[in-house]
A and B are shown apart, each in its own frame.
Chain A
Amino acid sequence: MSHTVLVCDDAVFMRTMLSDILQQAGFTIVGEADTGTKAVAKYKELRPDLVTMDIVMPDMGGIDAVREITAFDPRARVVMCSAMGQQALVVDAIQAGAKDFVVKPFQPSRVLEAVQRVLG
């Protein structure tokens, strides 16, 4: 059975692109979220194998969302997907419980590599 993924980003564009990359590699996208609050709720509902998380989102940012998700499930596997210029926040994200990060623009190979490593 293929791994399930929850894709969190406030841009439809980014969600579409990430979903395409992951689906082509055989993952199943079980949900999408465009705010941190929804990401947390969706995680609790769907219990995906993996979460990709943007950092800058309205209502609740990605870092707080990771913190809530790992508090709920310490074994949650989250990969941060941040844009350039947010490197400083990546440290915060890792401290909050994220397992790896990918910097936009996404190289499909880099995304898959990070994802495989986290799942491996």
Chain B
Amino acid sequence: MDLSKYVDLFLSEGREHVAELSGALAELESAPASVDAIAAAFRAVHSIKGMAAAMGYAVVTERADTLESALDVLRRGEEQLTPSSLGDLIDEADALAREIELAVTRPAPGPEAEGYATPTDPSANPARKRATHVRIRASRLDSLMNLVGEIEIARGQLERELRNVTGETISSAFARTSRLLSELREQVVGARMVPVGDVFERFPRLVRETARSLGKEVDFTLDGAEIEMDRSILDRIGDPVMHLLRNALDHGIESAEERASNGKSTRGRLTLSAQREAGYVLIRVADDGSGIDRDSVLARARAAGIVGWDTDALDDVTLLRVLAHPGFSTAASVTNISGRGVGLDVVDAAVRLLGGAIEIRTVAHRGTAITLRLPLSVAIVRALIARVGEELFAIPFTHVVETLQFEPPAAAFRGAEWTETTIGDLIVRVVMLRTLFGIEPCVSGRMPGVSVLARGRRAALIVDDFVGQQDVVVKRFDPPRGGSSMFAGATVLGDGSPALIVDVNSLI
């Protein structure tokens, strides 16, 4: 049996199972007793084992078998997971992932081996070419990125100190150091970048299969597979994107008969595209299907109390808010209407966790496009630095629409709470950061604020003043026990002062 045609499938599906495995192990770190996570890890390893055995990859099979046995003991409840045994499992999983990649690069014995070019032509020698790549643990790249961040902070402090020092040699050496540092940062960020195609390559097949099982005819296009983004972000958006594609096939694109009766081509069109846009990557899933039935979503949203009874139409922004409302879209009865938002809350949560945002556009009978706006890199975000009281806060640009001056209503001066304001024609919620952060409120005639957009909603965050904008290195921290945090992390600004990074999503 010729196995060579299965190599690509083995690798892409093997990687998927590796991703599921690491996801499950990560979950076990926080919930060591999770039966579901153990079962998921077991299934992933089990599938790898079966596939590797079929391919004749003995080392992978053996490693998978060892790991499977260890997981099986946990699955049966014969042993409890301890931090050290979890550490061993994670190491084993890493080793397994490495072996999978190695197994497919080893030249197959037989006629293929003779096809190698002569060693006198190094550029044509595949073995030599391969040697220019080394495999680096992702955690090592993380530490490099962290160090670059620390050096940037030290550079900022140095810059401040140097203001009081004169001397041409010093300032030119400093300028050179700064330039080299930003080059270094670019290189480190670049080292973490992989083309989105690495994860998206499995989608054409998935779309084909899903379309076939639904009995629909669909032309699928994948654009921008070469666009690069941070591996750690890319790994986390595979599932959400798959979800959006399934939704589009299942609920978006109509059956051939329905399309024909509406005067559309019987073949549906589905596009997955990636595109760079100033510091972000936009991932878009667009179909030319029936669009989302706003009326039925509205009716359900009213019934569920997500919007008031006075809401008589859903614009794109409100529609997204309703669809991303936890639980709304997963309600079983929604799957049969063209509500289309099935599980959109899950996608929304995954994207938010990465510091990204979702946008939705839908036109009845023309189709739906859902865009995930994701930062290029998780470690650094561009942020607006604002002062509130004595403290500095960073507001990530992902959510900033514009900075404005807001006029509080007269009532606010008499101590009444200021809850709403207008931006253009929109009435939006006001969030006074002073009040929120427990600082003595202070109202004046015109107050600086920022118009933000998150989870499909606009709001006005009122600050004391703006200090500037800069790239901040995000140091994540866990939210306080039992509650969600208003902050997505902390950073140290150029002058060495700490600043909390505001989690705009949590304020809206």
Q: Which positions in A face B, CB cutoff 8 Å?
A: 10-14, 16-17, 21, 31-32, 54, 56-58, 83-85, 104-106, 108
Contact = CB atoms under 8 A, between A and B. Distances in A.
Contacts of B43: 10, 56-58
Given A16-B6, A16-B9, A104-B54, A10 B68 contact: no
B6 A13 contact: yes
A17 B50 CA distance: 12
Nearest to B46: A56
A12 B65 contact: no
Given A56-B42, A56-B43, A11 B50 contact: yes
A8 B253 CA distance: 26
Contacts, number: 59
B301 to A, nearest CB: 30
Contacts of A57: 43
B87 interface: no
A44 to B, nearest CB: 15
A105 B49 CA distance: 9
Nearest to A10: B47
Contacts of A12: 9, 13, 205, 209
Interface in B301-335: none
Contacts of B496: none
23 contacts: A10-B43, A11-B17, A11-B47, A12-B205, A13-B6, A13-B9, A13-B10, A13-B51, A13-B54, A14-B47, A14-B51, A17-B6, A17-B54, A21-B1, A31-B213, A32-B213, A54-B50, A56-B42, A56-B43, A56-B47, A58-B43, A83-B49, A105-B54
B42 A105 contact: no
Contacts of A83: 46, 49-50, 53
Contacts of B14: 13
A105 B53 contact: yes
Interface of B: 1, 6, 9-10, 13-14, 17, 40, 42-43, 46-47, 49-51, 53-56, 65, 68-69, 205, 209, 213
B368 to A, nearest CB: 26
A106 B46 contact: no
A83 B209 CA distance: 25
Most chain B CB within 10 A, of A11, A12, A84, is at: A11
Contact of A85 (B10, B40, B47, B68): B68
Q: Which 9 A-B pairs have the closest CB atoms?
A: A105-B53, A105-B54, A83-B50, A104-B50, A11-B47, A13-B51, A56-B46, A13-B13, A13-B9
B184 to A, nearest CB: 41
Nearest to B51: A13
Contacts of B47: 10-11, 14, 56
A34 to B, nearest CB: 9
A82 to B, nearest CB: 8
Nearest to A106: B54
B205 to A, nearest CB: 7
B302 to A, nearest CB: 33
Nearest to B8: A13
Given A16-B6, A17-B6, A108 B46 contact: no
Contacts of A31: 213
